[in-house]
């Protein structure tokens, strides 16, 4: 991401708009006193972001269903992790 000062953004607004329009995924940060205060994005990207926000708002909480696949025996793994944690805690206690 490219960042420009507010002064530079005022001077080069037309070229900056053409740059973000040419590459819809691109954004330009606008800085005020050295900190990003906003972003310049293409109209297409803004439309996509707003549509996604409306979809999430309509569906309530965003869902992570289907984004992870658990494999193996979780009970065995959790028991093994608990035993390892206990072993490490006892070793740390004995080392004191």
φ/ψ of 61, rounded to 5, equals -70, 140
Task: Give me the average pLDDT of each 10-residue run along the chain (96 residues).
Answer: 81 85 81 89 87 81 69 84 91 84
* Phi, psi dihedral angles at 9 (to 5 degrees): -60, -40
In the chain, domain spans? 2-95
pTM of the model: 0.49
- Give backbone dihedrals phi and psi of 4, rounded to 5 degrees, phi first: -135, 155
Are 30 and 38 in contact by the 8 Å Cβ rule? The answer is: yes
Name the 3-class secondary structure at 4: strand
Q: Is the dihedral of CA 15, 20, 26, 31 positive or negative?
A: positive
pLDDT attached to residue 96: 73
Domain spanning 2-95 has what CATH number? 3.40.1620.10
């Amino acid at each position: 991401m490219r960042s420009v000062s507010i002064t530079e953004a005022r001077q080069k607004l037309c070229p900056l708009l053409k740059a973000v329009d040419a590459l819809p995924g691109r954004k330009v940060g606008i800085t005020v006193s050295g900190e990003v205060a906003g972003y310049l994005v293409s109209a297409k990207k803004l439309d996509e972001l707003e549509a996604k926000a409306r979809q999430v708002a309509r569906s309530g909480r965003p869902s992570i269903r289907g984004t992870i696949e658990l494999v193996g025996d979780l009970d065995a793994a959790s028991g093994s992790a608990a035993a390892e944690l206990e072993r490490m805690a006892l070793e740390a206690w004995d080392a004191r």
